Chains A and B, each alone.
Chain A
Amino acid sequence: MIPIYLCDDEESVRHQLKTALEWKIFMENYDMKVVCAASAAQELLETAQDTRRGVYFLDVDLKDGAWDGFTLGRELRRRDPHGTLVYITSYGDLAWKTFQYHLEAFDYIVKEGEQTGPAITRCLEAVHARLLDERHDPAEMFSLRTGDETRHIPLAGILFFEAAPKAHHVYLHTADSRLDFVGSLNELEKELDGRFVRVHRSFLAAWDKIEAVDGKGNQVRVGGRMCLLSRTGKAELKKKLRGSF
């Protein structure tokens, strides 16, 4: 069962949300339940202590000591990295993109009197569909930590890691991005044991993405991109190749 949490300091909004959600769950026979409708952040955090993969409907304009919509979302994201965050706001002008990129918030709903109910229902439908999708295909993720924000990148999408020119920085390359983070290739090599090969002092390439060694033998093509290949890297590749047969 997927637990649903609400947090809004207005009694009437809480009631409206709870009713709309419960009605939809009942109608569609979803495997979900509204387990908590909190009026304050602390109350929600206490109830949702060990929840994993929960769905949270949060008020953006929450004012509760140090907590506001964003910080509450960040705390929930930290505790429940794969949870779903949906925001409720009274203004259409909220800094939605900030919530989307920094908290991976799923959707937001603008409080518009009687329109709110149907909006909630549509949103729950979308959440349900996505959760079903994820159950079919739980992709393995690589966690990239910067400060207290964690980003999840599908392990299967990573082409290679490259030592950045700046000390202690590493570039993570995928087909459509280059991400800069603080780390070391040595540690990554250990952590990702076996699935990545150290083809060069500055390159750690995904084993299943290696396509070819180029003519002169000092470069290797990984997912359509070129990595340097050293002599020890070549030996490493050969060893790995023998091992895989």
Chain B
Amino acid sequence: MLTLEDYLTAFVGSLTAHAALAVYLFVMMDVRGWRILKKLPALLLSPLAASLLQVGLYVLIPGHVLVRYYISSFAVLLMCTFWARWAWRTEFWRAFSAVCMGGVFQVSTSCLSQILLLNSELRFTVVVYLVVVPISALLLHRLRFGRWFRFLLEEGFGQCRTALFLFALEAAMETFLILQAGIQPEYLGPYFMLVLAMAALEAGLVIHLAQRLDAARKAAAQQDVIAQQQLYERDLEAIRQEVRAFRHDYKNLLAGLSEQADEGELDQLRAALSELDAGFDRRIGEKIQASTQIGNVRVPQVRSLLLSKLAAMGKQGINCRLEVLYPVERIGMDPWDFTRCLGILLDNAAEAALETDTPWVEIILLPQKGRLSLRISNPYAGTINPDKIWTESFSTKGEGRGLGLPSYQRMLADYPHAAASTSWADGVFVQELTVEEKA
């Protein structure tokens, strides 16, 4: 028969498990989000509901221990997912993945505490948790597990698949934990060690996958760099050719001019001179302008991205302007992260600009005194709801557009020296990003 004491034990057990899960979630999702702490009390509902569910299931189907265990575990998983989704204002699959991963860690924590308790008289699991959870959380934090984990879940990389994969891992872990009932006491020690090793391997696997993904992306980008560099060189070659042709022309022109000067035809002379000036600007000036600006970008990843985006926007009929007054040698953040930020902003700008009659995008990069400013502006059609721009998947036009901004913000969260401002006055949308080099 179920007593109140049993119920309380189950509740306390569930509560500690939830607390551990919350700590791991915190490590994985965003360590700096201290405001999440305010939403923590709501998580208390989950153990309450879980233990009530367990009682209910016990009454309904007293026999099937495993079935009951799975149902209640899954319910807890779902409840925690909804809490995480609400607390971090993120999509379902992200939250689900994080909770599954947290579940794996929580299971391994309980295994570890069982090992520590195996040969002792101590019956207070809570005390062991208090020691084990912070230490392991700190370890994960030092391993930058959260960064890799978030990276793995960036949109556009099969979030749903990753989530289901993590769910399978979590289910396997839970099954292992269940199996302990059938293990003979003298093998419990090695058994728990095995489970622990599995959890460590899983964490390693996640990091490894994220790193592979990162490496693949970088390799693809590198290919891009090479291709773009070649394009750039072709541009320079074209300028060289033009200059040669111009040199030939201008010798002829000069000959004509000196003739006119000899004959004293001042008006014609003046006209010919201005023609010469305009001709130079038209033929070479523009190209030189564009290539000096892009040539000032000395960070290869950024230059390559700019070249490819400028080319793509040019094809779409967007009028682009790039200004880079001084050479950009370094950036106060990981160049790949900066490139991704730039990519998101440019994609959004191009998308919004294309909805207007005269699409244009303007990019200004200005490095000065240990600080780099980026300013991207574009016209937009429609209205902007300032309360919604920065939340998930908002766009002026329907679902699935403007997806990048939240991920842009998440990326910047790792950089305390970066500040991102936005404005939308007079039909022009402006994104500004200033990155200070760390003092």
Q: Spell out A's residues near B (CB within 8 Å).
A: 70, 74, 91-93, 95-98, 101-102, 146-149, 165-169, 173-174, 176-182, 202, 225-226
Contact = CB atoms under 8 A, between A and B. Distances in A.
Contacts of A95: 293, 323-325, 364
Given A173-B386, A176-B424, A180-B420, A101 B369 contact: no
Given A70-B325, A177-B424, A93 B285 contact: yes
B325 A147 contact: no
Contacts of A167: 32, 416
Interface residues of B, number: 38
Given A95-B325, A98-B364, A165-B35, A178 B373 contact: no
For the complex of A and B, list the 5 residue pairs with the smallest distance between their C-beta atoms, beginning with the closest: A177-B423, A95-B323, A93-B289, A180-B419, A179-B421
B68 to A, nearest CB: 40
Given A91-B285, A98-B364, A177-B422, 5 more contacts: A92-B285, A93-B288, A102-B373, A176-B423, A202-B35
B198 interface: no
A32 to B, nearest CB: 30
B414 to A, nearest CB: 9
Contacts of B286: 93
B20 to A, nearest CB: 25
Given A147-B434, A181-B419, A225-B387, A98 B366 contact: yes
Interface of B: 32-33, 35, 281, 285-286, 288-289, 293, 321, 323-326, 362, 364, 366, 368-371, 373, 375, 386-387, 412-413, 416, 419-425, 430, 434, 436
A43 B420 CA distance: 38
A96 to B, nearest CB: 8
Contacts of A74: 368
Nearest to A144: B421
A177 B323 contact: no
A92 B281 CA distance: 9
Given A167-B416, A178-B386, A226-B387, A98 B434 contact: no
A75 B366 CA distance: 16
A143 to B, nearest CB: 15
A216 B77 CA distance: 32
16 contacts: A70-B326, A93-B281, A93-B285, A93-B288, A95-B323, A97-B321, A98-B323, A98-B364, A147-B369, A148-B369, A165-B32, A165-B33, A177-B422, A177-B430, A180-B421, A182-B419
Contacts of A181: 419, 421
A174 B32 CA distance: 26
A173 B368 CA distance: 26
A167 B416 CA distance: 7
Contacts of B370: 147
Nearest to A148: B369
A166 B325 contact: no
A165 B285 CA distance: 46
Contacts of B434: 146-147
A216 B364 CA distance: 45
A101 B285 contact: no
A179 B423 contact: yes
Contacts of B364: 95, 97-98, 101
